[in-house]
Chain A
Amino acid sequence: MSEMWINMGPQHPMTHGLWNLRVKVDGELIVDADPEIGYLHRGIEKICEYRRYNEVVTLMDRTCYVAGIAWEQLYIMAAEEALNINPPPRAEYVRVLSQELQRLSSHVMWYAAYVQDIGLMTPFLYGMRDRDLILDLFQSYTGARMTYEFMRVGGVRNDVPVGFTDRCRKVMDWFDQRLPEYEKVCDNSTIFLERTKGIGVLKAADCVNDGVTGPMLRAAGVDRDLRRDRPYSVYPELDFDVAVYDAPDCYGRYRVRMEEMKQSVRIVRQVLDWLDRNPGPVLAEKVPRFVGTPSPPPGKEIYVERRGYPKGRGFSAMEEPHGEAMAYIINEGAEHPYRAKLRSPVFVNIAASKDYLVGYRVSDIPAIMGSVDICVGESDR
């Protein structure tokens, strides 16, 4: 049989979103791949130039539907750099709490989707069920389950409610039980190991040159995690290990994510302890009015007017659940950012897909692309 191109997408069970993986197959063997994205492009970077700083947060939630709050913080960190505002420490801790809960929920979601891609139906529901517990936590302090609109320039919208830390600890205890069970389901399954080991190999040097980041990079043995290597927020004060695995294949990526979930639980516990001990404000006192902060706390309206506000540029990079995300904000003294650029890790990971798909089989495509953890919302922005 001669070679043929197959469009896997834009609507296809493997894609987990709206993109098109064109693969050229020779029988079952993949000989070429050409990913196409852009089906979900909403022009978020352009819209940012027409929104006030705090209004952009709404857009950031929409970039990625499984890690909305990560993008909020990414943007807010860059915007705070550009506007030269420092959030209070408690706000930083609440942010890190959100980050790690989000990483946990995103990875659990990944796990659920991944095992389902491979054909294992049962843990899919286990994963989705446990993810709901985290979404409940999010709901209890941000009021939303997916699009939080929680972060503000200079802090976060509100503090965690009374009794939240205990509830959160209970969920973390539950995850302590569940995570080993997740691993058991996969590691005890010979077929799972056969399907993932040695599949979708992208060696460390190629990862670095291709700009691939996140669990894919760490699975290849490159020990890089921006939370530790380029500390932001309060991560330097927290104790955690970076999950690295020395198998640049789907199995390595699975192991890295499993380990990261455990580390996230560990970080969340530390943050909860800190939050219990250190009450305080969660919004900076001096926030320029033009960023559009709604309903300031009474008696604290020491707002700076826009006129003559210093210009600046802000660059932030953070370890998002999918990889290294970056934001670049240029503040030209106007109420809106002059330019907002977002770097999505998924964008780059998809771009490199030819390098880790060619030579494998059509049946491997879900296993490989699933292990990349694709969120098209954030790659297309």
Chain B
Amino acid sequence: MTDLTLATLLPALESRFGPDVKVLPSRKEVLGVVQVKGERLVEVARFLHDQGTFTHCALVSGVDWIEHIEVLYHLWSDALKGYLELTVETAPEEPHVPSVTSVWRGANWHERETWDMLGVRFDGHPDLRRVLMPEGYRFHPLRKSFELHEPEELEVKARHV
């Protein structure tokens, strides 16, 4: 696909996956923002990888919006020279999205980190362990329910114990 442009790619994506993808208003630093329903994620990823030349999965991250958890994928295309942002929303209780490691191996550790930090389960991930926090740690620290204490606060607490 040499004549690939974003103007053709995004409509193709929309027409193929129908209501499961939604093109959101873009920002200037990314090529586009696409919201995907969790259950079609791997298909969309495969389509973007094969047809859209998005061969490099740069970043998988997540945001805890309290009422839902947003999982973000930033994909790089060498042909389009830019990043495409995929967002997937999932429920805050038992959050889970399908794993894209079958499409990009590089997503492996990013997904592990997202599980570690936000508690998002990636279905089909080959090796979903914690990566930064120790095994057996009870919390997912980047959830907003995980409160960070200021050092002074901790000192005060320690003094009153």
Q: Do A and B come from one complex?
A: yes
List the interface of chain A (C-beta within 8 A of B): 37-38, 41, 43, 45-47, 49-50, 81, 208-213, 222, 224, 229-230, 313-317, 324, 326, 328, 330, 338-339, 341, 343, 347-348, 350-352, 380-381
Is the pair B109, A348 in contact by a Cβ cutoff of 8 Å?
A: yes
The 7 A-B pairs of least Cβ separation, nearest first, read: A211-B106, A351-B109, A38-B132, A341-B61, A41-B132, A343-B59, A210-B106
16 more CB-based (< 8 A) A-B contacts, given A38-B130, A328-B72: A45-B117, A46-B142, A81-B27, A208-B56, A209-B105, A210-B105, A224-B78, A229-B78, A230-B83, A317-B83, A326-B59, A343-B59, A347-B113, A348-B109, A352-B106, A381-B132
Can you give 13 contacting A-B residue pairs, CB < 8 Å?
Answer: A43-B141, A47-B148, A81-B27, A81-B28, A210-B105, A224-B78, A230-B82, A326-B74, A328-B61, A330-B63, A343-B59, A343-B74, A347-B113
- Interface of chain A, helix or strand or loop or mixed? mixed
B107 within 8 A of A: yes
B57 within 8 A of A: yes
Is the pair B106, A351 in contact by a Cβ cutoff of 8 Å?
A: yes
> B58's contact among A43, A81, A324, by CB below 8 Å, is which?
A324
Give the complex CA separation of A211 and B146 in angstroms: 30
B133 within 8 A of A: yes
Is the pair B74, A315 in contact by a Cβ cutoff of 8 Å?
A: yes
Q: CB within 8 Å of A: which of B107-161? A: 107-110, 113, 117, 130-134, 141-142, 146, 148, 150
Closest to A347 in B: B109
Give the complex CA separation of A40 and B29 in angstroms: 31
Q: How far is the CB of B122 from chain A (nearest CB, A)?
A: 15
Is the pair B81, A230 in contact by a Cβ cutoff of 8 Å?
A: yes
Is the pair B150, A50 in contact by a Cβ cutoff of 8 Å?
A: yes
A324 cross-chain contacts in B, Cβ below 8 A:
58
B91 within 8 A of A: no
Q: How far is the CB of B131 from chain A (nearest CB, A)?
A: 6
B30 within 8 A of A: yes
Q: How far is the CB of A27 from chain B (nearest CB, A)?
A: 26
Q: Which of B28, B81, B105 neighbours the largest number of chain A CB atoms within 10 Å of its CB? A: B105
Q: How far is the CB of A345 from chain B (nearest CB, A)?
A: 10
Is the pair A313, B27 in contact by a Cβ cutoff of 8 Å?
A: yes
> A211's contact among B28, B56, B82, B131, by CB below 8 Å, is which?
B56
Give the complex CA separation of A208 and B74 in angstroms: 14
List the interface of chain B (C-beta within 8 A of A): 27-30, 55-59, 61, 63-64, 72, 74, 78, 81-83, 85, 104-110, 113, 117, 130-134, 141-142, 146, 148, 150
Give the complex CA separation of A340 and B74 in angstroms: 15
A343 cross-chain contacts in B, Cβ below 8 A:
58-59, 61, 74, 110
Q: Which of A81, A343, A380 neighbours the largest number of chain B CB atoms within 10 Å of its CB? A: A343
Give the complex CA separation of A343 and B150 in angstroms: 25
B72 cross-chain contacts in A, Cβ below 8 A:
328, 341
Is the pair B104, A315 in contact by a Cβ cutoff of 8 Å?
A: no
Is the pair B131, A37 in contact by a Cβ cutoff of 8 Å?
A: yes
Is the pair A341, B106 in contact by a Cβ cutoff of 8 Å?
A: no
> A38's contact among B58, B81, B85, B131, by CB below 8 Å, is which?
B131
B105 cross-chain contacts in A, Cβ below 8 A:
209-211, 352
Q: How far is the CB of B146 from chain A (nearest CB, A)?
A: 8
Q: How far is the CB of A336 from chain B (nearest CB, A)?
A: 11
> B108's contact among A229, A314, A339, A351, by CB below 8 Å, is which?
A351
Give the complex CA separation of A208 and B58 in angstroms: 10
B150 cross-chain contacts in A, Cβ below 8 A:
50
Give the complex CA separation of A276 and B57 in angstroms: 41
Known: A37-B131, A38-B132. A315 touches B57 (CB 8 A): no
A208 cross-chain contacts in B, Cβ below 8 A:
55-56
Known: A45-B142, A46-B142, A49-B148. A211 touches B29 (CB 8 A): no
A213 cross-chain contacts in B, Cβ below 8 A:
56, 58
Is the pair B63, A339 in contact by a Cβ cutoff of 8 Å?
A: yes
Give the complex CA separation of A347 and B60 in angstroms: 12
Is the pair B132, A380 in contact by a Cβ cutoff of 8 Å?
A: yes
A210 cross-chain contacts in B, Cβ below 8 A:
105-106
Give the complex CA separation of A309 and B22 in angstroms: 27
Q: How far is the CB of B83 from chain A (nearest CB, A)?
A: 7
A350 cross-chain contacts in B, Cβ below 8 A:
109
Give the complex CA separation of A224 and B53 in angstroms: 14
Give the complex CA separation of A46 and B146 in angstroms: 9
